[in-house]
């Protein structure tokens, strides 16, 4: 039995879940998310919680069991609390400005770099920190990864864009004779 899949998902007050044949809709105070309903598992609502069970012990059903539960739990957390990732910009002359859906960065290139985020994801700028927030965990992670990919941190001086909790291993530079 899947250790993740067998755990029930507690549904907080103010959240409604609608189960269809091919999708599961989660509506909460922050918005609405649609999760695909995988074919080899069933989702049942029982006294304030959602329980995911698999139809048989086939390999694909075992794989989908934990996945369906994780997707549904992330949707419930997203519509209640939301998700956020923080990115830090390090480097002499590196700057960031803007907010909302679009930011503009100076990353050592000959031109400013503009980034426009997807719908449902907002960007907030405070000094040299970018906060990516939204209700869909996958979208928030994707936008944060795209921003980081614009200028990955380099190991010699640590310049670039990195996650706030990321540790950049530093290398020693050239040594003299």
Residues 74 and 136 in one domain: no
Residues 60 and 118 in one domain: no
Query: What is the predicted pLDDT for the residue at 3?
Result: 85
Residues 52 and 20 in one domain: yes
| Domain range enclosing 58 | 9-80
Q: Which of 85, 87, 103, 84 is nearest to 168 (CA)?
A: 87
Mean pLDDT across the stretch 32-57?
A: 93
Tokens of 175: 């040594």
**Confidence band of 1 (pLDDT split at 50, 70, 90):** low
What's the CATH code of the domain at 59? Answer: 3.90.930.12
In a domain, 4, yes or no: no
- Of 51, 80, 109, the one marking the end of a domain is 80
> For the chain, how many structural domains are there in total?
2
In a domain, 1, yes or no: no
Query: What is the predicted pLDDT for the residue at 99?
Result: 87
Residues 69 and 87 in one domain: no
Inform me whether the pLDDT recorded for 2 exceeds 80. Answer: no
Residues 72 and 103 in one domain: no
Residues 92 and 155 in one domain: yes
Inform me whether the pLDDT recorded for 7 exceeds 80. Answer: yes
Residues 88 and 157 in one domain: yes
In a domain, 67, yes or no: yes
Residues 144, 88: contact at Cβ < 8 Å? no
In a domain, 172, yes or no: no
Query: What is the predicted pLDDT for the residue at 133?
Result: 96
Query: What is the predicted pLDDT for the residue at 149?
Result: 96
- The DSSP code sequence of 136-166 is -HHHHHHHHHHHHHTSPPPTTT--EEEETT-
Q: Percent of the chain scored above 70 by pLDDT?
A: 99
- Of 29, 54, 80, the one marking the end of a domain is 80
Q: Which residues pair with residue 43 across a beta bridge? A: 52
Residues 87 and 56 in one domain: no
In a domain, 159, yes or no: yes
Inform me whether the pLDDT recorded for 175 exceeds 90. Answer: no
pLDDT digits (tens, 9 = 90+) for 156-166: 998 999 999 99
pLDDT digits (tens, 9 = 90+) for 96-141: 999 889 999 999 999 999 999 999 999 999 999 999 999 999 999 9
Residues 99, 105: contact at Cβ < 8 Å? no
Residues 94 and 73 in one domain: no
In a domain, 141, yes or no: yes
């Amino acid at each position: 039995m899947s250790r993740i899949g067998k755990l029930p998902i507690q549904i907080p007050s103010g959240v409604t879940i609608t189960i269809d044949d091919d999708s599961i809709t989660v509506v909460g105070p922050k918005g609405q998310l649609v999760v695909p309903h995988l074919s080899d598992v069933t989702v049942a609502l029982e006294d304030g919680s959602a329980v995911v069970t698999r139809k048989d012990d086939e390999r694909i059903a075992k794989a989908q069991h934990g996945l369906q539960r994780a997707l549904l739990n992330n949707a419930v957390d997203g519509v209640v609390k939301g998700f956020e990732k923080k990115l830090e910009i390090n480097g002499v002359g590196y700057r960031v400005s803007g907010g909302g859906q679009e930011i503009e960065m100076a990353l050592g290139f000959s031109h400013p770099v503009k980034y426009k985020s997807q719908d449902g994801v907002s960007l907030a700028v405070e000094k040299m920190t970018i906060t990516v927030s939204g209700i869909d965990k996958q979208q928030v992670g994707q936008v944060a990864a795209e921003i980081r990919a614009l200028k990955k941190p380099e190991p010699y001086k640590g310049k670039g864009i990195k996650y706030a909790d990321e540790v950049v291993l530093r290398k020693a530079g050239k040594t003299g004779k």
